[in-house]
Homo-oligomer: A and B are copies of this chain.
């Protein structure tokens, strides 16, 4: 058959990725994913011993997708470090805005600890890149610390904005000024951005 040449494992993850984009994170039922992949509800168990591990695999796709967009936004990496950090921040917020369900899934804390995929470590290379850029943009500071604070800021903006809390609190109509404020704060007064 045309479907079974790709392993069921991949088809399940594919179905999950489509489902979370179409219906949101709460729709990612084990049985519904199996249904969409055209198999019985017990089949996923061969590949994912538990529901959480399947969700982890789906979230993993999200992290690699985010990393891909980051890489392509950075281009050849010749721009000024501060500008590259700004580009990363913008990509991060755009990803969270355009993939609400997937972003929500990626940061479900019970997923982070499950699966030998070690989902938490998946985001480390991207963080390392950020820390490197921060270190070049602000020599002299503890780059990993500042990068950590900045990452937390981006994450907070992404979440609180998508929930409407920040829109309500700040009264602004889009998160761009918040991103600017955060970048200015962590990267120091406007440099060559």
Contacts and interface: CB of A to CB of B under 8 A. Distances in A.
A117 interface: no
Given A124-B168, A124-B169, A144-B170, A156 B163 contact: no
A30 interface: no
A124 B151 CA distance: 24
A145 interface: yes
A182 B151 contact: no
Interface string A130-149: 01000000000010111111
A45 interface: no
Contacts of A49: none
Looking at chain A's contact residues, the main secondary structure is helix
Interface residues of A, number: 46
B185 A120 contact: no
A115 B139 CA distance: 49
Most B C-beta atoms less than 10 A away, residue of A148, A159, A163, A172: A148
B178 A149 contact: yes
A155 B160 contact: yes
Contact of A169 (B144, B161, B172): B144
Given A149-B185, A152-B161, A153-B182, 15 more contacts: A113-B164, A120-B164, A123-B169, A124-B169, A144-B170, A145-B177, A146-B185, A149-B153, A149-B178, A151-B156, A151-B160, A152-B160, A152-B182, A155-B156, A181-B186
